[in-house]
Amino acid sequence: MSGEAPVAVPSAQAVTGSIELFESGFMADCTVKCGDHAWRLHKIILCTQSEFFRAAFMGNFAEAQAGEVVLEEQDPDIVEFALRFIYSKSLSHISGVFTPEAKDYDSLDAFEVCVPLYALAQFLQMDALCEDIATHLLRFNQSGAHALQRWWRSEGHSERVLSPEFQARFANLARAAYSLPQVGPNATREWSIRTSFLDYIIFRRFLVLRDPSFFDIIGAEAPSLLSRVTLSIDFYGAAPYLVSRRDRCLKCRKNPLFREDGEVNYGTNFWISVNKCYDCRYL
């Protein structure tokens, strides 16, 4: 007789967990430790969502025999965010960082959570989590820019500038993001973690262009990001609040900020990006 056939691992779609199962530890058969935290979890769920856990629990390693994995040099809170994603396939447990009020225009909570979480997702080889983080940051950048532009134009806010503390934090986070390896299926995609920082600057260019020192610190800490900004056609070609704002679409000459019924159409995604109305945008 031939040797035993290799074990077929179910797909991630075939195995689902739940937050209740994660929190209760019911029928748990393994332990994940980080710092002084320990989680009683389920091998079949971990192995279908993470190549790292699959190798640890199914390979010829001490972790497989002991049913225990220790994550060294990681933040336990960030590890819990990743584990909750494995069970829920959702980032709803950190949704609050993606919805700051417009007046909190200098909030970097989303990036301060997502950069280390993205790094951990790469370490655990969780492509789905990397993709979800980048998608949430894209939506955060777009929706935040819309709200911020309306608030920024209101009386008393147009002279606000970015604080030195904000600039230093943003530059440090950008440096951390650009130091991550560009590996896996998301490496060349336009909505990677690196692109999230580029989007943040482009969507808020009416704010960041007010202070040249912002680009000085970006150039010092994350020169690759500065290069991408300066190469962006949209960035300097459509800065509506720093130059004489064009009241017409660059192509059809219609006013994209007003609908046919005369109501104000507050800055669509496309107007923010390229000063072209929806009829003239590139598809």
**What is the pLDDT, as a whole number, of residue 117?**
95
Listed in sequence order, the residues at least 6 apart from 165 whose beta carbon sits closer than 8 Å to its beta carbon are none
Same structural domain, 118 and 160: yes
Q: Tell me if 271 is assigned to some domain.
A: yes
pLDDT at 137 over 60: yes
Same structural domain, 231 and 181: yes
Cα–Cα distance measured from residue 194 to residue 176, given in angstroms and rounded to the nearest whole number: 10
Q: Tell me if 80 is assigned to some domain.
A: no
Same structural domain, 96 and 184: yes
pLDDT at 36 over 50: yes
Structure tokens at 31: 């332990």
Q: Angle between the 212-221 and 223-230 helix axes, to the nearest 10 degrees?
A: 130
Q: Tell me if 79 is assigned to some domain.
A: no
Same structural domain, 160 and 190: yes
Same structural domain, 101 and 161: yes
**What is the pLDDT, as a whole number, of residue 270?**
41
How many domains does the chain fold into?
3
Of 272 and 78, the one with more pLDDT: 78
DSSP E strands in the chain: the ranges are 30-34, 37-41, 68-70
Same structural domain, 154 and 70: no
**What is the pLDDT, as a whole number, of residue 198?**
87
Mode of pairing for the β-strands spanning 68-70 and 30-34: parallel
**CATH at 34:** 3.30.710.10
**What is the pLDDT, as a whole number, of residue 151?**
66
37 within 8 A of 76, measured Cβ to Cβ: yes
HSE toward the beta carbon, residue 133, CA cutoff 13 A: 30
Q: Tell me if 2 is assigned to some domain.
A: no
DSSP string, 185-212: TTTT-TTSHHHHHHHHHHHTHHHHTT-H
Same structural domain, 95 and 154: yes
Same structural domain, 41 and 140: no
Same structural domain, 130 and 222: yes
**What is the pLDDT, as a whole number, of residue 200?**
86
Same structural domain, 44 and 180: no
pLDDT tens profile 103-132: 566 678 889 999 999 999 999 999 999 989
Q: State which residues form the domain around 37.
A: 19-74
Same structural domain, 125 and 218: yes
Q: Tell me if 108 is assigned to some domain.
A: yes
Of 26 and 16, the one with more pLDDT: 26
Q: Mean pLDDT for the chain?
A: 75
Q: Tell me if 163 is assigned to some domain.
A: yes
What element of type H or E holds 214?
helix 212-221
Same structural domain, 54 and 99: no
